[in-house]
A = this chain, B = another copy of it.
Amino acid sequence: MVPDKVKTTPHWTPGRSSETLADLGENRLVAALTRRLALGEDVRAGAGDDCAVIGRPKDARWQLLKTDVVIEGIHFLPEEDFKRVGWKALARAVSDVAAMGGEPAHALITLAARPETAVAQIEALYAGLRKAARKFGVSIVGGETSRSPSPLFLNVALTGWVERARCVFRSGGRPGDALYVTGRLGGSIRGKHLDFMPRLAEARWLTAQFKIRAMMDLSDGIGADLPRLANASRCGFELLQERLPCADGCTVAQAVSDGEDYELLFAIAAREAAALESAWRTQFARLPLTRIGSLTKPGAKTRQAKSSGGHDHFS
C-alpha cells in the first residue's frame, strides 16, 4: 500500500502565524503546500505542470490527471448562461491535458449549490458539460453533489493519457528556443472566457509533427505564465511585446495580463521555426501562430512585460 520509495523535498519554511493567503500570494502558497509532498516512484510530474503525469519511465503511455474549479462570483457571474459555465468548466481541464500533448478521457464532476438553486439552472450546467464532453471525447463517469452555503462551486477532475514520446512538460525548454503562441491574447472577459476552444487538435498535431520542448496553456496571462515556463526550464526569456497577437480592441497590456486566453505557449528549437510556420499555415489556416520571443540563458537579462505580471488568485 505504501510506495516502496518516496521522493520528497525536505525544505519547508513555515509561514508567519498571522500571515494570510492574500499576503502570501498564490505562487508561494502552492510552492509551500506542494514542497513536502511525498510522491510514489510512478509519478513523472506532480504539482507544477499543467497536469500530473503518472506512469513508469518506459511505459508506452502515461496517464494525465487534472483538477479544475469554477466558482460563482470568481470565474463566472450568477446571471451568466449556465450552459456556457458548464462548457467552460470542462474545457479548462481539457486545455491542460492538451498542453501536455495528450487526449482527455474520463471526468468526475463535483457540484455544490444552494438548495434554492433552480433545477433548470443545474440542467443547463450539465448540458454545457455534456456538450464539451461530446466535443472532446470525454466520458463523465460520476461525481458528487452537495449543498453549498453560498456560491455555486463546480469542480472537474479529468483523466487523460499521452504517448510517452509526445508528452511535453514545461521544463524541457532550452536557451535559444523559439517561443510561440496560438491565437490572439487579451479581452477574454468580453465572452471568450466562457466559449473558448481548447487547442486540443492543435496540440496533438504539434506533438505528432514536431519536437515540442516545453508547452503550457495560458490561463493567467502571458505576463504570469511565460515566467513560469521559463523558470521550469531553468531559462530566462526575451518577450517581444510588439509582436504579441492582441485580440481586436486590446492593448498590449491587456494581451499580457488579462488572462483566461486558453491558448498554447510553447518552445521549439529555433532551427525548426521555418518548417513549423509553413506547416502550420497549411494545417490551421484560420488560427494565427506567432513567434513572440525566445528562451535565453538563465540569469541573462530578461525583457519582460512592464505592465502587470498577470493574475494572482488571492490578490
Binding site for B on A (CB under 8 A): 1-3, 14-24, 26, 29-30, 32-34, 36-40, 42-43, 45-49, 51-52, 54, 65-69, 71-75, 103, 105-106, 108-110, 112-120, 122-123, 126, 130, 133-134, 136-137, 139-151, 153, 155, 157, 159, 200, 313-315
Contacts and interface: CB of A to CB of B under 8 A. Distances in A.
Nearest to A15: B119
A21 B113 CA distance: 8
B33 A122 contact: yes
A153 B150 contact: no
Given A21-B122, A116-B21, A140 B14 contact: no
A69 B155 contact: yes
Contacts of A68: 110, 144
B151 A47 contact: no
A118 B151 contact: no
A314 B141 contact: no
Contact of A24 (B106, B119, B130, B142): B119
B112 A26 contact: no
Given A16-B119, A38-B139, A71-B147, 15 more contacts: A2-B134, A15-B119, A21-B116, A38-B130, A40-B105, A40-B139, A43-B139, A52-B106, A54-B141, A67-B108, A67-B144, A73-B149, A146-B313, A155-B155, A157-B157
B159 A65 contact: yes
Contacts of A157: 65, 67, 108, 155, 157
Contact of A67 (B36, B38, B110): B110
Contacts of A1: 103, 136-137, 200
Given A18-B118, A136-B1, A155-B69, A143 B47 contact: yes
B110 A71 contact: no
A125 to B, nearest CB: 9
B136 A52 contact: no
A313 B149 contact: no
- Chain B CB count within 10 A is highest, among A14, A54, A66, A105, for A105
A53 to B, nearest CB: 8
Contacts of A49: 142
A24 B203 CA distance: 42
A141 B106 contact: no
B33 A65 contact: no
Contact of A123 (B15, B47, B120): B15
Contact of A112 (B51, B123, B153): B153
